Structures are given as C-alpha cells and as structure tokens.
A = this chain, B = another copy of it.
C-alpha cells in the first residue's frame, strides 16, 4: 500500500458499516412477516434469504480475518423462521462485529485472506465487498417494498 493520502481509519469504516447495518435492520422491520420470507420479483431470492447471506458473511468473515483459520460459508440458517428470529440474529451480529473489528490491526487490512476458501483478496477489499453487497441487495429489497406498496426506509438515515 502506498499511504500517500490516508483518508480513512478502521473506526470510521466500522461506523460506516454499522450505519448501513442499522438501515438494513429497518428494511427487515418494514417487510410484512409473510412477504419477508416469500415475496420476490423475477425469480430472485426473498429478502429473508438476502439477510441470511449477510449474516453468513459478516461475523464468519471477520472471524477468519482475525483468526486466519478457514471458516465455512453457511447461508442456510433454517432455524431463522420469523422476522423476530432475523432481528435477534442481526443484533447479535452487530455486537460481534464491533468486537471482531477491533481485533484487526492496521497492517492486517492490507494482508490477503482467502475468504471462505474462495475470495483471495486483501482484508479491506473483502470488508468493502461485504458493505457493498449489503447496499446492493438492500436496493433490491427496496424495489420489493415499493412493489408491495410500502415506502422503504430513507436511504440517508443510518
């Protein structure tokens, strides 16, 4: 890395992500129970499956970054059957993300990690991917909500 213009700290990136995660939480709340698990457009996954993907990525991904031990990717999570289940799992992840993020050193952010045995990139690229992936799929969820006649939470409120 050439640190010619360092412009962001670890703490700022974490705050940015948790702001997005807070918004995603409000998207979960905005879905009616049934549609959260069933509604889709164009053969895409229901919003609950996207949330399970985010859960499968965040804490397990950070765990591998911190431990440097291989971690399995598992987005099945069949035990998460209700909106309340998803919100509880979400909140538990929020705490664990804060804890794990603090254990990543500045140097570590630019070391490669072979995430889930298949995404071999520097730690920071993988974390940016986590955040971008969440924003991308949340945008998809916003169209689902609009198609259901529901106003999505405002994008700029975190």
Given the complex of chains A and B, what is the CA–CA distance between A24 and B155 in angstroms?
19
- Which B residues lie within 8 Å of A116 (CB)? none
CB of A109 closer than 8 Å to a CB of B? yes
> How many A residues have CB within 8 A of the partner chain?
44
What's the nearest-Cβ distance from chain B to residue A103, in Å? Answer: 12
Of A13, A139, A142, most B-chain CB atoms within 10 Å: A139
Which residue on chain B has the smallest CB distance to residue A128?
A: B16
Which residue on chain B has the smallest CB distance to residue A7?
A: B109
Q: Provided the pairs A9-B2, A9-B6 are in contact, do residues A140 and B138 lie with their beta carbons within 8 angstroms?
A: no
A8 touches B155 (CB 8 A): no
Among candidates B43, B135, B147, residue contacting A42 with C-beta atoms closer than 8 Å: B147
A132 touches B20 (CB 8 A): yes
